[in-house]
């Protein structure tokens, strides 16, 4: 499947018109040895210090970033090879931050992925533009949001989709949105890997296009 990005003018702001992406701060979870990212407090401080350095309230980053933080959960280390390449874009923002649909589409599936440091509440939308489409995964959101959507529900660009969840419902993370584009869901329902092993990077890079273009 070939990815054809939508025209920039067709995209609605993911966090709403009041939070333009040009005011967001870049956030990295690599080269942060001075923080203990294996703890909630350490990760929270790492994020907050980076936001403060840019006088920002919202942070963004992480596409194809290599992160050691996933070593803290067996969810990412089981199997022959640990997973450490992040396939989506993280948007770090306060709990209950609203997330809006960037394009028209329909609900593909929802799920509560309960493993430690997994997505928690998860919404997958199939977005459409011109004669093209792809899936977008919205992870670490509030449970109430996945309860109000049903498979096949239609959404329009600019519709309110969900809100950022707290750690008790978002997999145990500092509040953020995991936003990931996927061309082929490989038959999965309400879930898709958000972190890949290094040996499979080429495949996942082609199946999960850079979502940063959608962050307007």
- For residue range 11-66, what is the model confidence (pLDDT) as tens digits? 999 999 999 888 899 999 998 889 999 999 999 999 999 999 999 999 999 999 99
State residue 68's pLDDT score: 86
Distance CA 126, CA 48 (A): 33
The residue written with tokens 């919404």 in the block is: 123
The rounded radius of gyration (Å) of the Cα atoms in the chain is 16
pLDDT of residue 62: 97
Q: Is 59 exposed, middle or buried (0-12, 13-18, 19+ CB in 10 A)?
A: buried
Check residue 57 and give its pLDDT. 94
Distance CA(118)–CA(133), nearest Å, equals 26
pLDDT band at 73 (very low <50, low <70, confident <90, very high): low
Taking a C-beta distance cutoff of 8 angstroms, is the pair 178, 88 a contact? Answer: yes
Q: For the structural domain made of 8-214, what CATH number should be given?
A: 2.70.70.10
Please state whether beta strands 98-100 and 89-92 pair in parallel, antiparallel, or not at all (unpaired).
unpaired
Mean pLDDT of 71-90: 83
Q: Say if CB 116 and CB 78 are below 8 A apart.
A: no
How big, in percent rounded to 5, are the helix, strand and coil portions of the chain? 20, 30, 50
pTM of the model: 0.96
Sort residue 140 into left (φ over 0), alpha (ψ -120 to 50) or beta: left
Interval 90-95 mean pLDDT: 98
Question: Burial, 193: exposed, middle or buried (Cβ in 10 Å; 0-12, 13-18, 19+)?
Answer: buried
pLDDT more than 90, % of the chain: 87
């Amino acid at each position: 499947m070939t990815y054809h990005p939508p025209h920039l003018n067709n995209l609605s702001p993911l966090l709403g018109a009041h939070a333009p992406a040009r005011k967001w701060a870049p956030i990295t979870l690599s080269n942060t040895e001075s923080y203990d990212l294996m703890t909630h407090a350490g990760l929270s401080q790492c994020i907050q210090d980076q936001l403060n350095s840019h006088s920002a309230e919202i942070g963004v980053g992480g596409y194809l970033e290599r992160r050691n933080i996933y070593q803290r959960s067996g969810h990412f280390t089981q199997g022959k090879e640990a997973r450490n390449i992040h396939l989506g874009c993280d948007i770090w923002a306060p709990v209950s931050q609203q997330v809006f649909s960037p394009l028209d589409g329909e609900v593909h599936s929802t799920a509560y992925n309960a493993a430690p440091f997994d997505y928690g509440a998860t919404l997958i939308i199939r977005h459409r533009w011109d004669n093209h489409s792809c899936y977008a995964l919205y992870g670490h959101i509030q449970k109430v949001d996945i309860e109000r959507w049903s498979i096949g529900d239609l959404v329009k660009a600019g519709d309110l989709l969900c809100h950022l969840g707290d750690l008790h419902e978002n997999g145990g993370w500092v509040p953020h949105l995991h936003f990931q584009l996927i061309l082929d869901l490989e038959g999965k329902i309400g879930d898709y890997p958000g972190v890949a092993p290094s040996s499979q990077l080429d495949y996942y890079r082609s199946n999960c296009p850079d979502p940063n273009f959608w962050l307007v």
